[in-house]
Structure 1
């Protein structure tokens, strides 16, 4: 299986392999990426993870070897409230091009020492991609999300749009996609090609072409959840990873007393200036006869939230266990929370804050599995949305229908087909 609990089994006839994972700590991407690591370790493979010290404990809990990066991005990625221009520059500086030279040095050293069969990199780990290509080692990209790169028939990433229809819709997508490529290249192309030249590689035409050089894009999501599009031949839907984050491991949980509907609130595990939104959600639950459970994650202190009498605020709880009893999930729309809620058949209220979250929200609402609100929605507006979801059976029914497909894909073997048999 690829979702839920990691399998305790050998590699089913596959020869033990040596994998080098080069990962970026991007918050919600870490649990699914380390879920892949854990599964390969459990199947008898040799796995080393090259990453920053911020996730050292989580890496070591998988049983893999941890190799610290000599340098890694530091500080908070302050992406909230940025214009598209500012966001593109911030992503390039903080996540992609800024860290790439040091990451390439670290990855080359790890490749030379370990001689891996495959390098598996986070989707924006440009330095690791360049290092693998320079050393002639195949590399795969982990994409714990819907498909993010430009593709025919797929709405532009980050815009929260539904699929296009007809000539005008296709024109919309071409215009948006071309503008996105130009904007991305403005801050990422020169740095990518400078690094490629340093390692004796030919330049790429666009920064996205660096990602296209991967052997495979391993999409850690459900094909049924994503919108259909004509993806490149190296893109593979391998099913979502439903693991809870390492910092929530070992937490005990029991449902609050009473019979009122249970509402789980799970916002971003990295800071997105979302304390005010979270407080309004808590205030909304205080207006209704529900049992609220708010998990703040490591980005917000529970004491920062003034809890209503019917709401419990904690730093973390095992979401997989909570979701067995939950009636509604209220979230910022991160892929991990959304996909786990659907796999449990629980409808959602999504207040997207940026990044990929509007894309996840529109995939929920298009399927009738929840409601999307502005992150600035007032407490009364959130309360009314909560009434709608609880009082309208179709939301729960749609979540269960979509969730059945999500759960089936999470328990499939596509991940191992790609990482073992097709290596």
Structure 2
């Protein structure tokens, strides 16, 4: 039976891609899927064959918000940044999103809501209307869990009281990777999980390029290194300088070793001369396809990027910046899937790490084992999940 499935996303550039493991199976199985998100994601919904309904604002794109959050990160570090953003700004936006969703879902009631784990307004709206609700982990699940009791729940409590709801709690969660990968060795155990399911990608993201990137000729016998520090660091004005310096140090390290490289740098690409015919700097690259060809991935450590690496069986050098990224890269190091350095690491330390990763077969073997574990996860069964939630 086809279901009316409402999926929600918050305005972070990569967040719809992070939900492909939910959106793509729902569309492929013939369910009626609507993405409820800020207008910036209208095109992303169309590319995936889903309907679209505007909900919430593009508040993360506000330059003042970006400057303030970047300044907290620069002055006080990532833990303070997470408290400020996910324990303060995010709950503060929940009411606007909830109002839009209450209007939409009162007119056409969905059979199932799958909301981003960080979409606190969607959680509230689903509870007000008593809809079956599941939180899709976009990578921020561990961060929210760490902040929940001391920061997130207290910030949401007045809003929940206004709607005469029980105190806020994280809904049952859905994830695209084994829980112990990212929640293991944490003081707080994983949240209740309705299901860990197979990870899928939107088809247009997996189409191989004719070559890795035009104007780069791969040399026989040389390893290929792919570099991307993600979309958020280059999109946030206050972090562009930090990201630019990191890219320059990485590229200096690449020039010091015998490799070919593709550097995906978003809006910074035009400011980063490669200095080598064997290093190609581009705005964007077909990441999942490239990671099936690359020998090493230098990454900011976003959850989706790390899982792209696992599916490509490509070891990583993680240089986590903010949010969940440092914790993600530390988790991969513990599993032997790569190495990690701070975002301010110099080119000599980066070159040493790249050389070690390229010369040590154990990293590749660990990635192959992780890829096999990921592939064994069961497919997403929406009817079963709806039944589990009492829908």
Which TM-score band (shorter chain)? 0.7 to 0.9
> Contact 2:21–2:176 (CA<8 Å) still a contact in 1?
no
SS in 2 for 1:119: strand
Can you give the 5+ residue segments of structure 2 that lack an aligned partner in the other structure? 234-238
Deviation, structure 1 residue 288:
1.2
> Contact 1:263–1:330 (CA<8 Å) still a contact in 2?
yes
What is the alpha-carbon distance in structure 2 between the residues aligned to residue 360 and residue 90 of structure 1?
18
Greater CA drift, 360-369 or 67-76: 67-76
1:107 counterpart = 2:95 = no
Aligned counterparts, 1:113-124, within 5 A: 113-124=107-118
1:262 counterpart = 2:262 = no
Q: String of CA shifts for 1:195-238, please: whole Å, max 9, x gaps.
A: 21222224x2xxxx431xx2x21112234633547545444322
What is the alpha-carbon distance in structure 2 between the residues aligned to residue 336 and residue 287 of structure 1?
29
1:395 to 357, 363, 387: 363
Aligned counterparts, 1:143-154, within 5 A: 143-145=137-139, 147-148=141-142
1:319 counterpart = 2:281 = no
Deviation, structure 1 residue 28:
3.0
> Contact 1:369–1:399 (CA<8 Å) still a contact in 2?
yes
Q: String of CA shifts for 1:65-85, please: whole Å, max 9, x gaps.
A: 111125341325434324434
> Contact 2:118–2:144 (CA<8 Å) still a contact in 1?
no
> Contact 1:225–1:402 (CA<8 Å) still a contact in 2?
no
1:308 counterpart = 2:275 = yes
What is the alpha-carbon distance in structure 1 between the residues aligned to residue 314 and residue 81 of structure 2?
35
1:48 to 22, 25, 34: 34
More helix by share: 2
SS in 2 for 1:196: helix
Deviation, structure 1 residue 240:
3.1
Q: String of CA shifts for 1:223-259, please: whole Å, max 9, x gaps.
A: 4633547545444322334448x7x687844133212
Q: TM-score, normalised by structure 2?
A: 0.85
Q: String of CA shifts for 1:363-390, please: whole Å, max 9, x gaps.
A: 2111222111111111111111111111
Size of the aligned set, in residue pairs, is 364
Residue in structure 1 matched with residue 62 of structure 2 by the alignment: 75
What is the alpha-carbon distance in structure 2 between the residues aligned to residue 23 and residue 110 of structure 1?
15
> Contact 1:333–1:351 (CA<8 Å) still a contact in 2?
yes
Using a 3 Å threshold, how does the CA distance of structure 1 residues 389 and 32 change in structure 2: closer, same or farther? same
Residue in structure 2 matched with residue 275 of structure 1 by the alignment: 244
> Contact 1:239–1:415 (CA<8 Å) still a contact in 2?
no
> Contact 1:85–1:183 (CA<8 Å) still a contact in 2?
no
What is the alpha-carbon distance in structure 1 between the residues aligned to residue 340 and residue 148 of structure 2?
27
What is the alpha-carbon distance in structure 2 between the residues aligned to residue 221 and residue 397 of structure 1?
18
Residue in structure 1 matched with residue 129 of structure 2 by the alignment: 135
Aligned counterparts, 1:360-375, within 5 A: 360-375=328-343
Residue in structure 2 matched with residue 193 of structure 1 by the alignment: 157
RMSD: 2.6
Q: String of CA shifts for 1:107-129, please: whole Å, max 9, x gaps.
A: 10111111111121111212111
Aligned counterparts, 1:8-407, within 5 A: 15-69=1-55, 71-73=57-59, 74-75=61-62, 77=66, 78-79=69-70, 80-81=73-74, 82-83=76-77, 84-94=79-89, 96-145=90-139, 147-148=141-142, 157=146, 180-181=147-148, 183-185=150-152, 189-190=154-155, 192-202=156-166, 204=167, 209-211=168-170, 214=171, 216-223=172-179, 225-228=181-184, 230-243=189-202, 252-255=209-212, 256-259=217-220, 260-271=222-233, 272-273=239-240, 274-297=243-266, 300-309=267-276, 310-407=278-375
SS in 2 for 1:374: coil
SS in 2 for 1:141: strand
SS in 2 for 1:353: coil
Using a 3 Å threshold, how does the CA distance of structure 1 residues 420 and 138 change in structure 2: closer, same or farther? closer
SS in 1 for 2:169: helix
Using a 3 Å threshold, how does the CA distance of structure 1 residues 415 and 376 change in structure 2: closer, same or farther? farther
Using a 3 Å threshold, how does the CA distance of structure 1 residues 54 and 227 change in structure 2: closer, same or farther? same
Greater CA drift, 98-107 or 272-281: 272-281
Q: String of CA shifts for 1:302-332, please: whole Å, max 9, x gaps.
A: 1121213121011112122212221111111
What is the alpha-carbon distance in structure 2 between the residues aligned to residue 243 and residue 391 of structure 1?
33
What is the alpha-carbon distance in structure 2 between the residues aligned to residue 362 and residue 27 of structure 1?
23
Deviation, structure 1 residue 417:
6.3
What is the alpha-carbon distance in structure 2 between the residues aligned to residue 92 and residue 292 of structure 1?
38
Can you give the 5+ residue segments of structure 1 that lack an aligned partner in the other structure? 1-14, 152-156, 158-179
